């Protein structure tokens, strides 16, 4: 499968709430690192992430990948992502995010997925109180600082 077809299948599976199809794009030991929910390792947990976690507080997903670039081992794509939030404070608002997907590939499958996303506009779309947005941002900042590749950046 070429990268364009893989990315479309990736997005379609989320939009169609098809965790099995989504997980099939990953290696058996694949890991999806979600910007909100953390890491999901293995196809079973990756499928559950889509079928349960994503749809727990949202509906009507839309996901598009733009301008993919790959050397056969790593795939980068800018994305736009949105959903209709079912959280009470959102009052049915569509939350929109943009980010970059970073995928490590092995044997034509995704071995690891990471993302960097601008989450603040989506939280504003969902009418989150500023204090809640600050708390989420602090948690995401702490998670970033805990990643081993950040060690050099945190050194005095």
Q: What is the DSSP letter of 71?
A: -
Radius of gyration of the chain (CA): 16
Residue 36 near residue 123, CB atoms below 8 Å: no
Domain extent, residue 126, equals 3-144
Residue 129 near residue 136, CB atoms below 8 Å: no
Residue 154 domain-assigned? no
Per-residue pLDDT of 24-54, as tens digits, reads 999 999 999 998 888 999 999 999 999 999 9
Report the first-to-last Cα separation within the chain, whole angstroms: 45
> How many whole angstroms separate alpha carbon 139 and alpha carbon 134?
9
What is the structure's pLDDT at 35?
87
Residue 155 domain-assigned? no
Total domain count, the chain: 1
């Amino acid at each position: 499968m070429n990268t364009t077809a893989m990315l479309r299948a990736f997005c379609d599976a989320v939009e169609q709430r098809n965790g099995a199809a989504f997980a099939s794009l990953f290696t058996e030991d694949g890991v999806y690192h979600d910007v909100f929910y953390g890491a999901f390792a293995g196809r079973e947990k990756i499928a559950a992430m889509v079928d349960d976690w994503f749809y727990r507080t949202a509906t009507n997903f839309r996901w598009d990948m733009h301008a993919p670039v790959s050397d056969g081992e790593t795939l980068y794509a800018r994305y736009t992502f949105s959903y209709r939030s079912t959280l009470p404070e959102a009052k049915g608002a569509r939350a929109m995010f943009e980010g970059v997907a970073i995928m490590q590939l092995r044997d034509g499958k995704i071995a690891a997925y990471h993302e960097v996303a601008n989450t603040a506009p989506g939280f504003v779309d969902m009418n989150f109180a500023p204090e809640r947005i600050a708390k989420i941002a602090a948690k995401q900042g702490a998670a970033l600082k805990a990643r081993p590749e950040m060690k050099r950046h945190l050194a005095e």
